[in-house]
Amino acid sequence: MILKLSNWQSRLSTYLVSAALAPFRYGAFDCGLFVAGAIEAMTGVDVVPALRGSYSDRRSAFAAVRSICGSSTMEELADYLTARHGMPEVAPVMARRGDPVQLRSGRRSSLGIVAMHGTDILTPYRGGLLLLPRAHATRAWHV
């Protein structure tokens, strides 16, 4: 089980400021690495060291995910990593700032986190972080 550091809020805020304008790029700044970076900022634990530097496009990203959890979906990756690190699933309405969330389901699902103010979700997009209404979350986990 991973635990938040005492200064997790300032660490998360610093991470989000640094990520605000980073363009989406597989293997550098995609939804999985963004969420993993947020978790690392809050806890000091990198939950996806095996993924870092292992892919550079959509196809190789899903192959890398499959090599870790046996499936190529973000849903399965989230299930695998949250179980491995003791992050319990909660209803999306119960997610708190910094908590990982899943957006959509199936082959087109993606991941994000609850924003610092707690009412929206942040996820990587072409020109930086995209702010979405919290209602887009289909699943969530507490860090």
Mean pLDDT of 109-129: 93
Q: Is 82 in contact with 32 (CB distance < 8 Å)?
A: no
Mean pLDDT of 92-116: 90
CA distance 138 to 42: 22
Residue linked to tokens 């990982």:
100
CATH 3.90.1720.10 corresponds to the domain 8-141: yes
Give the pLDDT band (50/70/90) at residue 123. very high
Is residue 74 pLDDT above 90, yes or no? no
- What pLDDT sits at residue 105? 61
Give the pLDDT band (50/70/90) at residue 107. low
The helix-helix angle for 74-84 and 31-43 (nearest 10°) equals 20
- What pLDDT sits at residue 73? 80
Is residue 118 pLDDT above 70, yes or no? yes
Of 139, 143, 93, 87, residue with least CA distance to 118: 93
Mean pLDDT of 79-105: 93
Q: What is the dihedral of CA 60, 127, 122, 11, to 10 degrees?
A: 90
Q: Which residues of 88-113 are buried (b: 16+ CB within 10 A; e: fewer)?
A: ebeebeebebbbbbbbeeeeebbbbb
